[in-house]
Amino acid sequence: MNTQTPPALEARLGALFLIESALARRGGLDEALSAPRFLGLSAQDRGFARAVVMVALRRLGPIDRILDGKLKREPPAKVRQLLRLGLAQAFWLDTPAFAAVDTTVALTPQALRGLVNAVLRGALRDGQPADDPASLAPPWLLSRWRAAYGEADAMAMAACIAEEPATDLTPRNDTDEELAALLEGETLPGGTVRLRRRGDVAEWPGYSEGRWWVQDAAAALPARLAGPLAGATALDMCAAPGGKTFQLAAAGAKVTALDKSAGRLRRLAAGLTRLNLSAEMIAEDAAQWSDGRAFDVVLLDAPCSSTGAFRRHPDVLWNAKPGDLAPLAAVQARLLEAAAVRVRPGGRLIYSVCSLETEEGEGQLRRFMTSHAEFTLDPVQPGEGGAPPASLAAEGWLRVLPHHLEGGIDGFFVARLARAR
């Protein structure tokens, strides 16, 4: 980065780098957050850049609506990104309007400075747009959600896109009753501890002693439905970075953690060490894994579109494409077949995805059931695992929508099947 750039511009250049990466490809934001180009910024600039980009991604729909109304023709991609960041700062962060405008103009190529200045000042004159949930989600996803869940749920889900989520932790020991007080959080039904803290989690109380790990309240549900685990064998088929493996191991299961990504398994291994837990780890494609063992419990938390994870990863909404769903559903179907043969007679299969798209959840399960008479749905009971009451579908599975818990929760589908003896 140019060492002559004044500090206020360094932070905005960092934000530009993040938003360009976030919208270029799936996973781009996470990569950019650990890239030397970003890590080379001061802690203060990193914090500012990240905050601006998260707001810009959470409000991308309304921001683009404003810009589309003001731009007569599409500017170069970099200029649209700068305008998005400028409006995010001016409307939804504490940045004074003049600073948002001046720094945006300063980063704009000379020939377009007049245009950028006029667009931002015009938008500021119009005032902050009223919150309209319908503008927060990409239109194609919103139509799908309307079709799947109806107008009221679709709007309530979309409204969650603008909300900054709390941090959820899973305690290592269910009996750790002091943890919530220690971290000034609240304990949710099921045991998740919810906090409003910000900053580096590694510095929070209890982290280095391995008393908890970060895990959304919805992501903690699948493993909680596994039943008694002390002494049981469990296969976590898409295990990394490991939240569900940690739950299974902490509950006393003998866990085999399989994942095709060796890099992600290294993160799982580091988590196990910190938490003083153990599991067998195997880096392989679960659909091809040749091993004769059958397990008491098989958990398949399958790769998916991740649209349910938009609260912490709003970029997923803008990177997902309609054409992604059929290939992902095909992978999930293959993995479900591979999971089924690993369940011992009398054992349980838990299938989950952090997706709001029904072909990755309900559709997948219905298809599996038609060709696997040896499995029956084992209905989730009301209140089991601390699942929000609204998430329990009549069929007996969980369809967790982001507004089902006050303060929000990730979107998830979770079903439990029992294999005949």
Ligand X SMILES: C[S@@+](CC[C@H](N)C(=O)[O-])C[C@H]1O[C@@H](n2cnc3c(N)ncnc32)[C@H](O)[C@@H]1O
Q: Which is nearer to ligand X, 88 or 238 (CB)?
A: 238
Q: How many residues bind ligand X (CB under 6 A)?
A: 18
Q: Residue 402 interacts with ligand X (CB under 6 A)?
A: no
Site string for ligand X, 253-292 (x = CB under 6 A): -----xxxx--x--------------------xxx-----
Shortest distance in whole angstroms from residue 359 CB to ligand X = 16
DSSP codes, 383-419: TGGG--GGGB-TTSSEEE-TTSSTT----EEEEEEEE
Beta strands 398-400 and 212-214 are: unpaired
The DSSP code for 29 is H
Which position among 240, 275, 356, 398 is part of the footprint of ligand X (CB under 6 A)?
240
Q: Which is nearer to ligand X, 46 or 244 (CB)?
A: 244
Q: Residue 243 interacts with ligand X (CB under 6 A)?
A: yes
Which position among 85, 238, 298, 365 is part of the footprint of ligand X (CB under 6 A)?
238
Confirm if 206 and 185 have CB atoms less than 8 A apart.
Answer: no
Q: Residue 303 interacts with ligand X (CB under 6 A)?
A: yes
SS (H, E, C) 188-216: CCCCCEEECCCCCHHHCCCCCCCCEEECC
Confirm if 342 and 284 have CB atoms less than 8 A apart.
Answer: no
Number of residues written out for the chain: 421
Tokens of 142: 């919103």
Assess whether 160 carries a catalytic annotation. Answer: no
Tokens of 185: 């959080």
Shortest distance in whole angstroms from residue 247 CB to ligand X = 8
Q: Which is nearer to ligand X, 156 or 333 (CB)?
A: 333
Q: Residue 347 interacts with ligand X (CB under 6 A)?
A: no
DSSP three-state, residue 31: helix
What are residue 416's DSSP bridge partners?
350
Q: Which is nearer to ligand X, 4 or 34 (CB)?
A: 34
Shortest distance in whole angstroms from residue 122 CB to ligand X = 43
The DSSP code for 308 is G
What is the rounded CA–CA span in Å between residue 131 and residue 171? 36
Shortest distance in whole angstroms from residue 412 CB to ligand X = 10
Beta strands 295-301 and 233-236 are: parallel
Name the residue whose CB lies closest to ligand X. 238
Shortest distance in whole angstroms from residue 13 CB to ligand X = 32
Phi/psi at 15 (5° precision): -65, -40
Which position among 168, 301, 359, 410 is part of the footprint of ligand X (CB under 6 A)?
301
Q: Residue 410 interacts with ligand X (CB under 6 A)?
A: no
Q: Which is nearer to ligand X, 61 or 243 (CB)?
A: 243
Q: Which is nearer to ligand X, 185 or 303 (CB)?
A: 303
- With tokens 């990104």, the residue in question is 81
Tokens of 210: 């391995």
Among residue numbers 204 through 223, which ones bind ligand X (CB under 6 A)?
219
Q: How many CB atoms lie within 10 A of CB 182?
A: 14
Shortest distance in whole angstroms from residue 226 CB to ligand X = 13
Binding site residues, ligand X, CB under 6 A:
219, 238-244, 258-261, 264, 285-287, 301, 303
Active site (catalytic) residues:
354
